[in-house]
Amino acid sequence: MNTLSIFRKVAVAEGISYVLLVFIAMPLKYWAEMPLAVKYTGWAHGVLFMMYVVLLIMAWMEYKWSFKKSALIGVASLLPFAPFWVDKKLKEDNSNKSW
C-alpha cells in the first residue's frame, strides 16, 4: 500500500469518528448523561486526526501537491463530512495533481 491509499483509509476513518463524536457521543454525554461516550470516541478521533495530519504532510511531499490542495485537504479535516469528499476527490484524481 502506498501513502495515498493509507491516507484515504485514514481520512474515511477520521470522518466516521468525527461524525460519531459530534452526532452520537456528544448528545449521549449531554442528554443521556453518558460522558464515557465522548471520552472513548474523542480519544479515537484524536488519534485518527493526528494520523490524518501526518499522512497529509507525507502525501504533500511525496506527490508534490500544491499548497492550495494540501491546505484544502487539511481544512477538510475540520468539517464533519468533508473527509468523505476528500476521499472521493482523491479517488477520482488519477494524476493527484489537479485542484
Task: Report helix, strand or coil for 35.
Answer: helix
Residue 97, pLDDT > 90, answer no
- Residue 68: helix, strand or coil by DSSP? helix
| Residue 93 confidence (pLDDT) above 90 | no
Q: What is the pTM of this model?
A: 0.89
Instruction: Specify whether the CB–CB gap between 11 and 70 falls below 8 A.
Output: no
How do the domains of the chain map onto residue ranges?
A: 3-92
- Which grid cell sits at 52? 490524518
